[in-house]
A = this chain, B = another copy of it.
């Protein structure tokens, strides 16, 4: 404990969750602030998490027929304006380029806040016949939205993301792709990030500007607030009509095609921090941990200690595990605390006595549990341990999420829960936006989604008492 204090302490979650979050992103060396207000630097430890997300998500995309492309970062104003709802949704929050080189532009352009309009412009050239359909494209890029309030990973003026944009001959095929990609995101969150999510549809009030239907995955953070973690939109043929994209179908008639888009962002890193982190810092699920195992040599000056550490590293690496040896001159206690702050899933301690006894000490970041392991079994044990940690982290996150999910049948219950607790509240809704507005105004609570898995927790709307249409997940959100 004395040695732990050598590493700068972070605020405890209990005391001030927002400050705890800010401390973790800084002290785990994930980001730095910049001279550009509202924008941040992804430092190596932060960017490496994004690279692991990208790599594993991209593999899943490619396995279901997605092809990557890259479109320009600029959108001419006249293009942005073609779809009415879309321009209303985005125009107030874009950055405008008005000068190129030494001359003013004839038409100003915004830096893409999202690329539906550019993809429409592109598809208009590419799609003429049913033979050209479907196109299932995606791009990894950065986008800009001129937010007033920003927080690292959660909301910044520039952020990194992927945006998929597809175009189909029928509404049904578009709908199928929309749901397929939402399911892909949900499985990705559970299997890779160890984050359980609720899948559902957004209400009309909360849907994407220009979409017919928006589907979402909603995760619950440690403080009981919700985080929208990925969305998938079915545009119907609205954009095709606005951009006059048409194709000749098999029956030789001209038709408007149907489009979808779906995106996930560096927000996911914020979700990892807020779902798994603790008062010692970051806790990374092994599958997105840039370093999965840190080896801390004890009495490293003694002959054979560093050599053994390096030998273990090489053996683990040859088994596909990401390993570092901390051979700096800091004390072991300091190294432990640093590795904990950075969320490295497994720590191996190895000193002269361990070497003599032919064993090593393993410590889990997620539980703090320590165990001994015979040197001969180390590689298999570490592999199994990483799998166990990944699974346990998901289980614990799911248990916590379920504990923080409440049911309200009446308005009193609803208000009481949000006054005293935080989390998801399942309650019925009549379908009227007026009720959503009232709840949002009075309690700063929004509809998170109409879950795919419907239940009936009462007969009437939790707000107005009229006949209920749907179960809705409600919550306070990032």
| Chain A interface residues (CB < 8 Å from chain B) | 32, 34-36, 39-44, 47-48, 50-51, 67-76, 79, 92-102, 109, 111, 118, 121-122, 125-126, 137, 141-142, 144, 146, 148, 157-158, 160
Contacts and interface: CB of A to CB of B under 8 A. Distances in A.
Contacts of A121: 34-35
Number of identical protomers: 2
A41 B97 CA distance: 20
A393 B93 CA distance: 50
Most buried by B among A74, A93, A137: A74
A334 to B, nearest CB: 14
A73 B95 CA distance: 12
A44 B72 contact: no
Contacts of A68: 44, 47-48, 51
B93 A70 contact: no
Contacts of A74: 36, 39, 95, 158
Contact of A95 (B97, B125, B158): B97
20 contacts: A32-B122, A34-B118, A34-B122, A39-B72, A39-B74, A40-B72, A41-B71, A43-B69, A44-B67, A44-B69, A47-B67, A48-B68, A73-B144, A73-B158, A96-B98, A97-B97, A97-B111, A100-B146, A101-B146, A101-B148
B97 A101 contact: no
B101 A92 contact: yes
A162 to B, nearest CB: 13
B109 A36 contact: yes
Most buried by B among A42, A72, A99, A122: A72
A34 B92 contact: no
A242 to B, nearest CB: 14
A127 to B, nearest CB: 12
A8 to B, nearest CB: 15
A72 B34 contact: yes
Contacts of A141: 142
Q: Which 5 A-B pairs have the closest CB atoms?
A: A39-B72, A44-B67, A101-B146, A42-B70, A96-B99
Most buried by B among A36, A40, A76, A157: A36
B98 A94 contact: no
A126 B44 CA distance: 12
Contact of A70 (B41, B71, B118): B41
Nearest to A106: B37
A468 to B, nearest CB: 38
A76 B126 contact: no
A96 B94 contact: no
Nearest to A33: B125
Nearest to A100: B146
Contacts of A67: 44, 47-48
A41 B1 CA distance: 56
Nearest to A43: B69
A157 B141 CA distance: 17
Nearest to A35: B121
A142 B158 CA distance: 13
A167 B42 CA distance: 17
Nearest to A135: B44
A99 B101 contact: no
A304 B158 CA distance: 54
Nearest to A75: B36
A101 B94 contact: yes
Contact of A99 (B44, B69, B98, B148): B98
Contacts of A75: 36
Contacts of A79: 35
Nearest to A44: B67
A125 B69 contact: no
Contacts of A125: 32
Given A32-B122, A141-B142, 6 more contacts: A36-B74, A36-B76, A44-B69, A47-B69, A92-B101, A97-B97
